[in-house]
Chains A and B, each alone.
Chain A
Amino acid sequence: MLNSTAISVSGLRVRRGGSLVLPDLSLTVAAGTVTGLLGPSGSGKTTLMRAIVGVQQVEAGTVTVLGESAGAPVLRHRVGYVTQAPSVYGDLTVRENLRYFASVLGVATGRVESAIATVDLGPHAGQLVRTLSGGEMSRVSLAAALLGEPDVLVLDEPTVGLDPVLRRDLWETFHRLAETGTTLLVSSHVMDEAERCDELVLMREGRVVATGPPGALLERTGARDLEGAFLALAEAREAS
């Protein structure tokens, strides 16, 4: 699967609530990589992810995922999506939530326990989701996306508010999934997560500022860290 393209976006234009969130965006994501989508809040990361999952109404452009048009029925088994807000039922327990999503996806209920273990929620499995903390809730949401073992995982800020140890473990899980061929697109507004990605897409005001592996971006800008590289690239773009 190396070097093949999992996601390709071309000329994407999206308007939300009257404002042009993505004026004209093009992008490719290689299969079997962990690609970080980085940019400040409001830069269009979520809108781009929604378009890739196929839940966003788009004005123009094409979005292709695994060779199919984004949102095609066959992709509903192959693409997993975790929204920023935990999209799970507060009035069900962790296990009940995951069992329900497992039966919607048509996967064995045995997957539920392993997904719970992956996000380290074992002790809370029988607890009502609304009684969990924010970070725990988003882990339930992440577990739901892992259930179907999708080929493409789109994760919108999955590690916000998590314990550093768990955050490291989750990034290890992401890389382990990528090694088995899963393509992960992970958004974050925290630059220190950027260095954990194979590839980066830096976004600002609905446009792609730069793409490439973290090392290459540092080299290109001569910056000491990725925060500095982002600043240099954004300023260079503004000047041009």
Chain B
Amino acid sequence: MSPRITLATAARVLRQLRHDRRTLALVLVVPPVLLTLFRYVFDGQEATFDRVGGPLVGLFPFISMFLVTSIAMLRERTGGTLERLMSMPLGKLDLLLGYALAFALLATVQATLTAGVAFGLLGLDTAGPVWLVVVLAVGNALLGMALGLFLSAFASTEFQAVQFMPAVVIPQLLLGGLLVPRERMAEVLEWASAVLPLTYAYDALERATQIGDLDTELWLDVAVLSGSIALALALGALTLSRRTP
């Protein structure tokens, strides 16, 4: 691994995005627009909007980066650029961290923008600091990126890659506590939710926006989330092989 190659990779990924203005615009504009939609759908039920709005700010980057990374990596795999890089003096970590850096930066912009709209214009309240929501959002973006990178190895077409999004993301959103508190679920579902990383992401966001205490529970969530990111990245690294059949 070398910092030069890692940074060059991050710069390259960002340059690719810069040439794809429409994707960039969608990544940045869709979350604030959706959140605005939520606000008016729940018009008159401010309590509900207050409950799910804050966590949503932090969950959008997970979905965006999962999608963007799974397609970007699928292209690297099928377009031959991954094979070229693997025959060059590039470490697998250079590639993983390069992508992570680039998407963390994009997620920071996305989450800051979404948070600005949510807490500034839509009147959403958060008990904890806004920066904490943004930091958790960036963490979720990295988790989405790492999972997207790993799962891209199991897709052979872009159609399949796109279908991984509902398959991987929606169950986690359903079970994570966003719609129904986990303790009100059937026991089996609650167990299932306990092994899904987004559950901890949601819990952390809920604590940050509803309770506002930077307590031990929140740090436990952050620890589980960090471990999940590391595990997903390690699994992703396993799918980058220098020799292929």
Q: How far is the CA of A144 from the CA of B90 in the complex (A)?
A: 15
Q: Which of A88-123 contact B (CB under 8 A)?
A: 88-93, 96, 100-101, 103-106
Bound-complex Cα distance A73 to B2 (A): 14
**CB < 8 Å neighbour of B89 from A53, A55, A81, A106:** A106
With A79-B87, A96-B12: A71-B80 Cβ-Cβ less than 8 Å: no
| Chain B: minimal CB distance from A100 (Å) | 4
B16 near A: Cβ within 8 Å?
yes
Range of interface residues on B (Cβ < 8 Å): 20 to 34
Q: How does the 8 Å CB contact mask read for B176-194 relative to A, with 1 for contact and 0 for none?
A: 0000000000000000000
A20 to chain B: closest CB distance in Å? 13
Cα(A89)–Cα(B86), bound, Å? 15
**Most B Cβ at <10 Å: residue of A17, A76, A86, A148:** A76
Could you say which residues of chain A place their CB within 8 Å of the CB of B20? Answer: 91
The answer, among B83, B90, B244, B245, for a CB contact under 8 Å with A87, is B83
Partner of A55, one of B8, B12, B83: B83
Q: Is A83 among interface residues, defined by CB-CB distance under 8 A?
A: yes
Q: How far is the CB of B241 from chain A (nearest CB, A)?
A: 9
Report if A89-B5 is in contact (Cβ < 8 Å); known contacts: A16-B245, A73-B89: no
Q: How far is the CB of A106 from chain B (nearest CB, A)?
A: 7
| B81:A88 contact, CB within 8 angstroms | yes
CA distance A102 to B243 in the complex (A): 23
- Report the minimal beta-carbon distance from B81 to chain A, rounded to whole angstroms: 5
In the complex the two chains form, is B79's CB within 8 Å of A85's CB? Answer: yes
Which residues on the B side are within 8 Å of A17 (C-beta)?
245
What is the 8 Å Cβ interface bit string for chain A, positions 59-74, against chain B (1 contact, 0 not)?
A: 0000000000001010
- Give every chain A residue within 8 A of B9 (Cβ-Cβ): 100, 104
Shortest Cβ gap from A51 to chain B (Å)? 9
A124 vs B127: C-alpha distance in the bound complex, in angstroms? 54
Give a binary string over B1-26; 1 marks a CB under 8 Å from any A CB, 0 the rest: 00011001101100110011000000
- Count A/B pairs, Cβ under 8 Å: 79
User: Do residues B243 and A83 form an inter-chain contact, with CB atoms below 8 A?
Assistant: no
For chain B, residues 63 to 90, give those with C-beta under 8 angstroms from any C-beta of chain A.
79-81, 83-90
Q: Give bound CA distance, A96 to B16, whole Å.
A: 9
Per the CB 8 Å criterion, the residue count for chain A at the interface is: 33
Residue-by-residue, is B83-108 near A (CB-CB < 8 Å gives 1, otherwise 0)? 11111111000100000000000000
Evaluate contact between B79 and A87: CB separation under 8 angstroms.
Answer: yes
Instruction: Evaluate contact between A100 and B8: CB separation under 8 angstroms.
Output: yes
Q: A92-B15, A101-B88, A104-B88 are in contact. Are A71 and B242 (CB under 8 A)?
A: yes
Q: Evaluate whether A76 and B80 lie within 8 angstroms (CB atoms) in the complex, with A16-B245, A71-B242 already known.
A: no
Within the complex, the shortest CB–CB distance from A14 to chain B, in Å, comes to 9
The answer for the CA separation of A93 and B16 in the assembled complex, in Å, is: 9
Bound Cα distance from A83 to B79, whole angstroms: 10
CB-based contact B83/A92 at 8 Å? no
Cβ of B80: which chain A residues have Cβ within 8 Å of it?
83, 85-87
A221 at interface (Cβ–Cβ under 8 A)? no
* B84 partner residues in chain A, CB cutoff 8 A: 81, 83, 87, 101, 144
B95 and chain A: residue at smallest CB distance: A104
Q: In the complex, what distance in Å separates the CA atom of A86 from the CA atom of B11?
A: 21
Q: Check: A162 CB closer than 8 A to any chain B CB.
A: no
With A85-B80, A87-B80, A91-B20 as contacts: A55 and B4 at CB distance below 8 Å: no
How far apart sit A108 and B94, CA to CA, in the bound complex (Å)? 19
Whether the pair B88, A55 counts as a contact (CB closer than 8 A) is no
Contact A106 B4 (CB under 8 A): yes
B243 touches A56 (CB 8 A): yes
Residues of B within 8 A of A79 (CB): 87
A153 to B16, CA, bound (A): 28
A26 beta carbon closer than 8 Å to chain B: no
Query: What are the 4 closest A-B residue pairs judged by CB atoms, nearest first?
Result: A87-B80, A103-B8, A87-B84, A76-B89
A57-B244, A79-B87, A91-B20 known; 5 other A-B pairs, CB under 8 Å?
A17-B245, A87-B80, A103-B5, A104-B5, A105-B88
A-B contact pairs, 6 of them (CB 8 A): A55-B242, A91-B16, A92-B16, A104-B5, A104-B85, A104-B88
